[in-house]
Amino acid sequence: MTSRFWFAAYNLFFLPLFFGIVNLLAFFKTNIRESLEKRKNQWERLGDGVSKRDWQKPLVWLHVASAGEFLQAQPVIERCVAGGAECVLTYSSINAYRWLESPQQAKIPGLLATEFLPTDTLWNARRLLGLLQPSRLVWVSYDLWPNLVWEARQQKVPQFLISAIVHADSLRTGNMVGRSFYHSIYECLEHILTVSEEDRQRILSAIPEHPKVEVMGDTRCDSVLERRDSLTIPELPQIAKNGFVFVAGSTWPPDEACIFPALKEALSEFPELFLILAPHEPTEEYLKNVEKHFDGIPFVRWSNISSAPERVRILLIDTVGILAGLYRSAKMVYVGGAFTTGVHNILEPVVMGASVAFGPKHDNSTEALQLLEQNLVNTVNNPAEFRKLLFHLLADQERCLELGRKSQVFIENQAGAAELCVPLLMKDLY
């Protein structure tokens, strides 16, 4: 009865409301307009990918929200392919599209297609399942699309949720309405494999009778560690190689309001400091604003790195896809997002051995919470706190290096989630 109620409510009320909001926001948000534009001809592209399928092999279909969740999916895809399966990957975000289409992103053998997930209508769900005919449908982290979940269950497609995260303040489990709705979702999933025990308990609060909710860890640890060893390290100016490299990665304007004043001050007091500024969205407007803020300090854009001034102090990243490689050169990193919706991926700088800091909104990141509990990373709430931290680590660089080494070892010890979950996905496929 409850599932029928939520099916009706979702399709008659929530979905039309969602479409209306998206179409309205598309007038104001470039990312949304681009996402809608890139979805054109998606069915033809999916069809082309599936046409190459070997029907003697099982097909594992994975869905991710964005680029961060792709990192969680990647080691699973590689192991499924190694086990004899073929894979299809769908995603929701324009950032995932940019990541997958970037020249630096190597194609994964056995991955037949990567494409935006069509909108979550019942018709699209049935069409997708008919086109792909998957042996498994694997949801990564949190991005569950209700109609597709419900329809896949109707068609008896086994579904898994891996690297599952439910934030402490999530509406999914934080109130009776959220728990009731997500009960109708979770009950369709054969296995739910969570990042932590806390995530497991939150999911069980919505569906206490589910027999297979298990802690499995975060497959992203496997991904970033494997990727680390194959990354191309961007060539930096000579002055950076001999100095203290600070990287501000995936930052938003509120992050920059917190860190830029202290960074500008530090450049004048610490001649060995070299800044790499890599915004989340490197628009021309953003780049010009940064250049204006640091006016008078020698800088160069990445696209013009070959003509960098001799005493350049700032490298401004005007492309995407190279940030992970840049982290390899860093002694200290500030990761953005934690003054807006939540901190971005901290694993990449951590596994490179950098000392990491971020803003106050970090409950979305299990690894951030774990490392904070061990006192291996730092969080700052305002410009004064950031200045104090920055100047302290610049004055005591051995302490900075020690934090980086210890946090790196801590994450290295978390690896292995992909090896644990893939046998469950592959069970009984042959």
pLDDT tens-digit series, residues 231-265: 888 888 888 888 999 999 999 999 999 999 999 99
pLDDT band with cut points at 50, 70 and 90 for residue 183 = very high
pLDDT tens-digit series, residues 262-291: 999 999 999 999 999 999 888 888 888 888
Can you tell me the distance from the alpha carbon of 343 to that of 254, in angstroms, rounded to the nearest whole number?
12
pLDDT band with cut points at 50, 70 and 90 for residue 103 = low
**2-218+415-426 architecture in CATH?**
3-Layer(aba) Sandwich (3.40)
59 bridge partner residues: 86
pLDDT value of position 26 = 83
Which secondary-structure segment (H or E) carries 301? strand 299-301
pLDDT band with cut points at 50, 70 and 90 for residue 110 = confident
pLDDT value of position 105 = 67
Q: Which residue has the higher pLDDT, 50 or 3?
A: 50
Please give the distance of CA 39 from its chain centroid, rounded to a whole number: 20
Q: Where are the beta strands (DSSP E) in 165-235?
A: 191-194, 213-215
Report the pLDDT averaged over residues 81-103.
88
Q: What amino acid occupies position 170?
A: S
Cβ atoms within 10 Å, residue 46: 23
Q: Which of 162, 290, 261, 274 is nearest to 221 (CA)?
A: 162
Same fold, 2-218+415-426 and 238-412: yes
Strands 314-316 and 299-301: parallel
pLDDT tens-digit series, residues 380-396: 999 999 999 999 999 99
Which secondary-structure segment (H or E) carries 289? helix 284-293
pLDDT tens-digit series, residues 344-360: 889 999 999 999 999 99
Which secondary-structure segment (H or E) carries 114? strand 111-116
Q: Which residue has the higher pLDDT, 380 or 217?
A: 380
pLDDT value of position 109 = 81
Each domain of the chain, given as residue ranges in start order, spans: 2-218+415-426, 238-412
Can you tell me the distance from the alpha carbon of 325 to that of 234, in angstroms, rounded to the nearest whole number?
6
Can you tell me the distance from the alpha carbon of 366 to that of 221, in angstroms, rounded to the nearest whole number?
11
Distances (CA, A) of 319 to 56, 275, 309, 323: 41, 16, 20, 9
Report the pLDDT averaged over residues 298-325.
88
Q: Which class is 238-412 in CATH? A: alpha beta
